[in-house]
Chain A
Amino acid sequence: MSVPLSSKTVRDLRSIVGAAHVITDPDRLLAYESDGLTQYRAAPSAAVLPASSDEVARVVERLHGEGIAIVPRGAGTGLSGGALPSEGAVVLGTARMNRILEVDPDDRLAVVQPGVTNARLTEATRPFDLYYAPDPSSQSTCTLGGNVAENSGGPHCLKYGVTSRYVTGLTVVLAGGRVARLGGSGRVASGGLDLTGLFVGSEGCFGIATAIEVRLLPLPASVRTLLAIFDTMEAAGHAVTGIIGSGLMPAAVEIIDRATIEAVEASVFAAGYPKGVGAALVVEFDGTEAGLDADADRAERCCLEVGAREVRRARSEEERLGLWKGRKKAFGAMGRIAPDLLVQDATVPRTRLPHVLASITEIGKQYELRIANVFHAGDGNLHPNILFDRADPDELERVERASHEIMKLCVDAGGTITGEHGVGIDKRAYMGLVHNETELDMLRRVRGVFDADHLFNPGKVVPDAVETPAEPVGSERASAAHAEAGAP
């Protein structure tokens, strides 16, 4: 239920950001009701679109002064409900904060406003033969602010690391509207705590990033891309373990399973996979031209040794895009074969991939659900995608139960409940699988350091202390695991 703001508050907000940039019309607010996780929807009281750090500070001061919560929002591509409006909250969108403030090719850094999209930053730095390394698959739409909040990864983070490795400084608006600067590339000698690193991944709960300083890398000179085709998912999993364990440093290793391939082939994105394939692996190497063929040869051998049916190698940029097509268009294709899609996210140690993937197939069978896997295999970062129809309450219920089983499976295998999409609203109930109450309490305290009154993105990430765990099976298991580890 949306709670309207008082006309005085609306007037004040309009005087800060301009009348056109305060949205209260229910029809226009529909666009802010959910993020990429569309199962959750709620109408905000209003949406405010400031254009500068100063405007953000004044909006925050005004709203927090009245005890009104703020939900930061970038492009809304998040997959854990992070930008879902909470009751009575105002959405603060960064869409107008889309300026690249500085590109310094000499020091290899850039400073951007939070609403700049990931792909645009790389476009802007390309003329200097530089680029921004973290590349979420949503990079053409998602914002740097969202990337910072989620500590996003992407296919090439296998070699290059995730967002936190590249964020060197932040300007943030804290609770009450204080503007603070954290870190900065020239300030590593200050010897202070890594507040920048702590802010990255805070999912909009610590404050709003209004300027982001990032490190850039030289564009790799060359690239080799392989597509390996396997009869079974298990064989593909073994190939990943083999490649990672062999000492090779691929830039990306991505898996697409049978269900995904079928979806892709049945869609307008058909990429020409052979019929009846069990899984495909995209392996990419980048860097100096010399040596790439040798790396690609070794990776090919790793695939063939575990029974790859064939290994294709791109000979041109066009062919490369062709090999990536199935991976890149997977979500779009799946969206066409089922009314609803739940994109799950979890990480397991890479050596456990074959076991975990086999078990996920079993879970799919047990709950009679179609689960399609397409994910960052080199990092052990799974995305089991569950296809369903929310109009079918029985199926919806099975989706919930299967999701829970998958999370438990990953945690039991030594993994975790989210590798890159964040906890948001969706994974809160699973936090007890990986953290005991002492640890959850610590997360609450740290959040309190930044936002004592929980006026930034309330109700996200950390389950409330009083809340009884939604899933008794999970919490039992979690406490057993902790008892084993000797933790209180």
Chain B
Amino acid sequence: MSATTAFVDALAGLDRSELGAHAGLRRALRGSGLGPPEAILHPSDTAQTAEVMRSASEHGFGVLPFTSGAHREPARPSAATSPNRPWLGLCTDRLRGIEVYEAADLTLTAGAGTSMEEIDTALRANGQWAPFDPPHARDRSLGGLVADGGFGPLATGYGELRNHVLGMTAVTGDGRVLRLGGRVVKNVAGFDLVRAVTGSRGSLAILTSVTVRAFPLPAVDLVLSLRAARLEELLEAAARVRTAPVLPASCLLYERPDGEGEGAVLLVRLHGAASTVDADRTRLAAHLGRPLDVVAADRAAAAVVHARDAAWGRAVRLELSARPSRLSPLLGIVRAMDPVELALDPFTGRLRVGLEAVEADTVETLSASVEAAGGALRVSAAPSPGVVGMGTTLSEDEARLTDDLRRAFDPRGVLWPAYA
């Protein structure tokens, strides 16, 4: 350990660990140009987290927060911070545990490092759940999930995760502790900083505790499907689901060569009381002009996970979005890139693409078409650092506001942004 980290030693009572113990973080760092951290610290509460941030800020260190690191987008130093700058890993695994769970109020507060699995188990014991389903949702920590802000197909029926983050304790880049929002479901006491921090991927503040809304478990979770050889054959059916008089809990059209058989699947979930779901299924079939197959109850959970994680684990991952009705020509361009997996959400207009490899100029061509359609593109995983993060750039005004917000939360640029 270098002399510059003497201040780290002075941080009393903090657990340390070595990078070797964090396979997920190691993977996330690959191709980032970042060397190993000077230390990995495990603060046990908000006060210790604030102390780390204040010290790091004072000594010119960067800090990268993570829980397992496995679901992080690859960490990239921003243009403003030198990759040679020493940095600390801040692992939130000790900020763990459910702090307050008011089942009758459908709200839950937990430490940022609490696993979603633990939260899910606690909620289900009370007939409740958290309908947040980005890929690998149950393997993530609450803080990681909220910092990432990602959402899955259930956003169609329940709204995106960011609508259900009610409050948080956040530590700014310079160690200020902010208690934002609260434990109530409606709250407009001041500007909505919870919204700003949710999805900021650790670029504004470190979350130490988060309050989310819980939902009653639906009596019936019916999973329906249609199959075809290729995703394109199901595009029209997916569009019909979007305009159906019934709003499903989720709808995803995906193509995945492993597991549940080859080819494309349109997976639709209906939630509610048994009689409601039954009627919805009939109405949906009438609107589509064909019935959907019921996925057998013993296979439904696996089918949902299979769909949810589609196009996630490949070497290259593209996140593309456009107004839903404008996706199909873009899909044509994507198809020519030889994708291995595809996942298209016909309600939110998102298309995730999994590839084995990609060239920078192919991304550029695709990006131009996506932007011409009013959409956006982001390369969120790739083996080569030059490609990760490619895609749609923010407008001049959005970039200015983003930079200024980052300065407001993190005046010394301590927090390594996960994206530039």
* Minimum CB distance partner of A184 in chain B: B374
Instruction: List residues of A (435-488) whose CB comes within 8 Å of B's CBs.
Output: 435-436, 438-439, 442-443, 445-450, 461-462, 482, 485-488
Quick check: A419 and B186 within 8 Å, CB to CB? yes
Quick check: B350 and A188 within 8 Å, CB to CB? yes
* Minimum CB distance partner of A448 in chain B: B408
Quick check: A182 and B398 within 8 Å, CB to CB? yes
Cα(A200)–Cα(B196), bound, Å: 11
Quote the shortest CB–CB distance from A133 to chain B (angstroms).
Answer: 10
| A435, A438, A442, A445, most chain B CB atoms within 10 A | A442
Q: Interface digits, A175-210 against B, CB 8 Å rule (1 contact, 0 not)? A: 000101110111111111111011011110110000
- Given the contacts A351-B102, A420-B186, A435-B190, A192 and B402 also touching, CB distance less than 8 Å: yes
Give chain A's interface residue range (CB within 8 Å of chain B).
Answer: 35 or more
- Given the contacts A106-B243, A422-B188, A189 and B395 also touching, CB distance less than 8 Å: no
| B242, B374, B375, most chain A CB atoms within 10 A | B375
Taking CB atoms, residues of chain B closer than 8 Å to A446 are 191, 193, 196, 405, 408
Quick check: A244 and B272 within 8 Å, CB to CB? no
Quick check: B408 and A189 within 8 Å, CB to CB? no
Q: Interface digits, B88-111 against A, CB 8 Å rule (1 contact, 0 not)? A: 000000000000001111110000
| B103, B190, B192, B244, most chain A CB atoms within 10 A | B190
Quick check: A287 and B276 within 8 Å, CB to CB? yes
Checking B163, B188, B323, B377 against A185 with a beta-carbon cut-off of 8 angstroms, the contacting residue is B323
Taking CB atoms, residues of chain A closer than 8 Å to B31 are none
Quote the shortest CB–CB distance from B189 to chain A (angstroms).
Answer: 5
Checking B45, B247, B323, B397 against A178 with a beta-carbon cut-off of 8 angstroms, the contacting residue is B397
Say which one of A6-14, A58-66, A157-165, A327-335 lies at the interface with B.
A157-165
B232 at the interface (CB under 8 A from A): no
| B47, B187, B274, most chain A CB atoms within 10 A | B187
Checking A188, A294, A419 against B376 with a beta-carbon cut-off of 8 angstroms, the contacting residue is A188
Taking CB atoms, residues of chain A closer than 8 Å to B408 are 442, 445-446, 448-449
Quick check: B398 and A195 within 8 Å, CB to CB? yes
A105 at the interface (CB under 8 A from B): yes
Instruction: List residues of A (228-251) whose CB comes within 8 Å of B's CBs.
Output: 241, 244-249
Cα(A380)–Cα(B186), bound, Å: 8
Instruction: List residues of A (150-179) whose CB comes within 8 Å of B's CBs.
Output: 150-151, 153, 157, 161-162, 164-165, 174, 178
Give chain B's interface residue range (CB within 8 Å of chain A).
Answer: 35 or more
A305 at the interface (CB under 8 A from B): no
* Minimum CB distance partner of B378 in chain A: A191
Cα(A203)–Cα(B191), bound, Å: 8
Interface of B is mostly: mixed
Quick check: B276 and A487 within 8 Å, CB to CB? no
Checking A192, A202, A206, A248 against B394 with a beta-carbon cut-off of 8 angstroms, the contacting residue is A192
Quick check: B190 and A218 within 8 Å, CB to CB? no
Taking CB atoms, residues of chain A closer than 8 Å to B268 are none
Quick check: B272 and A287 within 8 Å, CB to CB? yes
Taking CB atoms, residues of chain A closer than 8 Å to B102 are 349, 351
Quick check: A202 and B280 within 8 Å, CB to CB? no
A288 at the interface (CB under 8 A from B): yes
Say which one of B64-72, B176-184, B291-299 lies at the interface with A.
B176-184
Taking CB atoms, residues of chain A closer than 8 Å to B280 are 288
B33 at the interface (CB under 8 A from A): no
Cα(A200)–Cα(B376), bound, Å: 22
Cα(A185)–Cα(B322), bound, Å: 7
B324 at the interface (CB under 8 A from A): yes
Taking CB atoms, residues of chain B closer than 8 Å to A248 are 216
* Minimum CB distance partner of B327 in chain A: A186
Taking CB atoms, residues of chain A closer than 8 Å to B263 are none
Checking B179, B192, B198, B242 against A201 with a beta-carbon cut-off of 8 angstroms, the contacting residue is B192
Quick check: B189 and A416 within 8 Å, CB to CB? yes
Which residues of B line the A interface, CB within 8 A?
Answer: 45-47, 50, 102-107, 127-128, 149, 159-160, 162-163, 172, 176-180, 182-193, 195-196, 198-201, 203-204, 216-217, 239, 242-247, 272-276, 278-280, 283, 319-326, 348-350, 373-378, 380, 391-392, 394-395, 397-398, 401-402, 404-405, 408-409, 419
The 8 closest A-B pairs by CB, nearest first: A291-B276, A180-B397, A247-B216, A197-B195, A189-B321, A290-B279, A419-B186, A190-B376
7 contacts between A and B (CB under 8 A): A104-B323, A109-B323, A187-B376, A193-B203, A202-B192, A445-B408, A487-B177
Given A195-B402, A418-B187, A488-B50, 15 more pairs with CB closer than 8 A:
A105-B243, A186-B373, A187-B376, A188-B348, A190-B391, A190-B392, A193-B204, A287-B272, A291-B279, A294-B273, A349-B184, A351-B105, A381-B186, A419-B184, A486-B177
Which residues of A line the B interface, CB within 8 A?
Answer: 104-109, 129, 150-151, 153, 157, 161-162, 164-165, 174, 178, 180-182, 184-195, 197-198, 200-203, 205-206, 217-219, 221, 241, 244-249, 287-292, 294-295, 347-351, 376, 379-381, 414-423, 427, 431, 434-436, 438-439, 442-443, 445-450, 461-462, 482, 485-488
